[in-house]
Chain A
Amino acid sequence: DAKTTQPNSMESNEEEPVHLPCNHSTISGTDYIHWYRQLPSQGPEYVIHGLTSNVNNRMASLAIAEDRKSSTLILHRATLRDAAVYYCILIDGQTGANNLFFGTGTRLTVIP
């Protein structure tokens, strides 16, 4: 599986935008980019996913670089509830399998 690299931790002030980066320089053409987050004492939660184009949903936006070697998860206004570990995961679209291989993720701290 292609690897992803994320910063170990980031901080943001409440109600400010947050940009969480992810590098995936060995991504293949059929890899989907998925983001999940894990709030304290809870199971992981799906955030967003994309293949080539930027994506928006009610939770966040996903900006994918033109060469697809990196992507950025954007939380438009961070709230205290967004404090979590965010995981960037690549899933091979060719295998048809959907196994998530979690790395170490980025621990986001939101400062009131």
Chain B
Amino acid sequence: DSGVTQTPKHLITATGQRVTLRCSPRSGDLSVYWYQQSLDQGLQFLIQYYNGEERAKGNILERFSAQQFPDLHSELNLSSLELGDSALYFCASSVGAGNYNEQFFGPGTRLTVL
């Protein structure tokens, strides 16, 4: 158990809909990261927040957005969903934001878009 929690575990929805994925980092961790893992694209970094502020952006679509709240939990919002958005979404956390920090990953949310 990494100490990172993600809800829900599974999500099934239809194209065009909007969903919110939630992540609670390990106690004391200030950085939260979101990753997407699909069969054809592998594991891709989406976005990083550090202490409430956006720190780095990866291959995140404009239809996706994220935020980190004052209590440090984070939410990833996916809208206008397409079939290709079906994937495993992982959240990770680390103490700081720099390269010396190991990341602790949650169990993931499996999103299925029908």
Taking Cβ atoms with an 8 Å cutoff, the residues of A that contact B are 32, 34, 36, 38, 42-46, 49, 87, 91-93, 95-104
B contact residues around A45 at 8 Å (CB): 2, 105
Cβ of A98 and Cβ of B103 under 8 Å apart?
yes
A contact residues around B84 at 8 Å (CB): none
Cβ of B43 and Cβ of A44 under 8 Å apart?
yes
Taking Cβ atoms with an 8 Å cutoff, the residues of B that contact A are 2, 4, 31, 33, 35, 42-45, 48, 55-56, 58, 90, 92, 94, 96-108
What's the A-B contact tally at a CB cutoff of 8 Å? Answer: 71
Cβ-defined partner of B102 (8 Å) among A46, A103, A104: A46
Cβ-defined partner of A98 (8 Å) among B2, B42, B98: B98
Cβ of B104 and Cβ of A91 under 8 Å apart?
no
